[in-house]
Each structure stands twice: as structure tokens, then as C-alpha cells.
Amino acid sequence: MFEIRYYAQTESTNDDAVPLLGLPENAGAVLWADFQRAGHGRRGRTWVAPPGSSLLVTTILPRAVASGALWAVPFWTALGAADGIEAATGVRVDLQWPNDLLLDGRKCCGILCVSRVVGERAWVGCGTGINVLRPPGDADLAAVEPAPAFLSDRAPNVQRRAVLDAILAEYEHLLGELDRPEAIARAWERRAGLDGTPYRLLVDGDEAPFEATARRLGPDGALIVERDGAERRIPLADARVAR
């Protein structure tokens, strides 16, 4: 179902995936780079990963999804990545809205999906950057704030290929769930232990972040929080978590 295509380096696996989306011969292609010269994070940020340290992968889904369900794909990706990491290493990571995996409270994985939409169908590349092997002396990471976590912090013998294989197995197992975006949201909420989790959020246009208690995901992936006894909807595109 999945075909791994390995590259020593590239600009960005997500950028590489975009022109391949929707072409039958690329369904299920897994673009894995040892190093990205211009890796992307959410909201235009740069993903920093020294060569050989991270699992930098964009997985082109082997089937189209409903365009109206695109909002659920990053949450689906997070579930597959988290379960795959645990299967490969025994390490249980936490899920943080909207697209991060945390290890001991620090980011170890970011998710950024790309898509091509034609009418009611969309083809998707699920991009994941997973910190696997901590580089000697934390090379090139001094400017990263807050400091990231690496799977090797808890699983010293971890291997990147084993983590990738386990994640792809979870993707295959969960593939049918892409037809049920609301079920994906509920599964993500349960796995994240979302209800009652404190969040510190910075909304676009605000000068300072605010603290609130998460309650659930909205039908489009927005975070529903409670503050001072009232609920507030935080859209996916309009805020970030401040840590």
C-alpha cells in the first residue's frame, strides 16, 4: 500500500509531494528525506532538524478523501503517528492541539498536511517531522525555543526506519476512518485527554496570550475552550499555543 522513496536531502518533502498529488502512480508514496534545506512548520515557521536526527516524511494517502473532511486529516495523522511511535519504542507521547506531539511536555513532532482539491475530492500529503535521535551536543538546536524533545531521550536504541514502519502500519489500519471525520475528532479528544486540559493561546491580532480550559473540538477542528464560565471557539487558522 505504501512505497518509501528515500532522498539524502531535499528542500521540503511537502513541496516535493504537492505536484504528485492526484496522480495514480503516486498514491501511497512516502517521501522520506534525511535532511531538508527548507523544512516548513505551521504558520510559515521553519522546521529545524540536523541531518540524520529526525524522521522527515510526507506520506501521500493512497486514496482521496472528501474535501469537506480535510480539517480532520491532521488529527488522523497525529493519531497514527502517536500510536506508531508507541508501537516502535514503547514511549507514549501526548497530543496537543492543533498539530503537535509532545514528550515530557516538549515538542517531539509537528504535523503539516498539503492537499489538492478538485470539487468534492481531495488528495493529501501528510507531512510529519519527528525528532528521533538527539544530535551530539544538540548541534544546530541552540536557537530553537522552547527546546525540543527527541524519542532517544526515552528510548536510546530507537531506529528511524522502525518508527516509520510502525507509523505506516497504523495509517493502513486507520485508513477507513477518513470517511468519518467526526469519529476522528472524538478519538483525538480521547487520546489527548482534551476535556479539562489547560491551554495558553495566542490569537491573531491579540497582544498577549490568554489561559483557558479546553473542552472539545468543534466540527471543523476548532478548539472549544472555557474561560470565566463562558465557551469560546478558537479556529484552527487563527491561533497558536503559547508555551
CATH code of residue 232: 2.30.30
Decide if pLDDT at 47 tops 90: no
Position 123 confidence tier, pLDDT thresholds 50, 70, 90: very high
Q: Is the pLDDT of residue 41 over 80?
A: no
User: CA 57 to CA 80: how far, in whole Å?
Assistant: 13
- In this structure, the number of other CB atoms found within 10 A of the CB of residue 122 comes to 21
Give the domain range for residue 171.
3-192
> What pLDDT, on the 0 to 100 scale, is given for residue 147?
85
Choose one of 171, 192, 213: the last residue of a domain.
192
Are 60 and 4 contacting, i.e. CB atoms less than 8 angstroms apart? Answer: no
Q: What is the pLDDT of residue 204?
A: 87
What mean pLDDT, rounded, does the chain reach?
92
Whether residue 237 sits in one domain with residue 141: no
* Shared-domain flag, residues 174 and 216: no
For 198, other C-beta atoms within 10 Å of its C-beta total 9
Residue 186: pLDDT over 60: yes
Rounded to whole angstroms, what are the CA distances from 84 to 88, 109, 113, 161? 6, 12, 18, 11
β-partners of residue 55 are 130
Please report, for the chain, how many H helices and E strands are present, in that order. Answer: 4, 13
The CATH number linked to 81 is: 3.30.930.10
- Note whether 63 and 69 are within 8 A (CB): no
Indicate if 13 and 72 belong to the same structural domain. yes
The verdict on 221 and 138 lying in the same domain is no
Residue 6: all three cell numbers together: 528515500
Considering the domain architecture, whether residues 123 and 226 belong to the same structural domain is answered as: no
Dump pLDDT digits (tens) for 124-137: 999 999 999 998 86
How big is the chain, counted in residues? Answer: 243
Q: Are residues 111 and 52 in the same domain?
A: yes
Please state the rounded mean pLDDT for residues 133-151: 75
Residue 141 pLDDT? 56
**Are residue 172 and residue 60 in the same domain, yes or no?**
yes
Domain shared by 183 and 206, yes or no: no
Residues 93 and 213 in one domain: no
pLDDT > 70? residue 139? no
In this structure, are 159 and 224 located in the same domain? no
pLDDT exceeds cutoff 70 at 46: no
- Model confidence over 52-84: pLDDT tens digits? 889 999 999 999 999 999 999 999 999 999 999
**Rounded mean pLDDT, 102-122:** 96
Handedness of CA 206, 209, 215, 217 (dihedral sign): positive
Average pLDDT, integer, range 106-115 = 96
pLDDT value of position 52? 85
Q: Could you tell me if 227 and 168 lie in one domain?
A: no
Average pLDDT over residues 135-148: 67
pLDDT band for position 50 (cuts 50, 70, 90) = confident
The upper half-sphere exposure of residue 83, i.e. CA atoms within 13 Å in the direction of its Cβ, equals: 16
Residues 99 and 23 in one domain: yes
- Indicate whether 143 pLDDT > 80: no
Query: Which H or E run includes 188?
Result: helix 181-192
Q: What's the structural domain count of the chain?
A: 2
User: If you average pLDDT over residues 196-215, what whole number do you get?
Assistant: 93
- What residue ranges in 48-120 does DSSP mark as E strands? 54-60, 65-66, 94-96, 100-103, 106-118
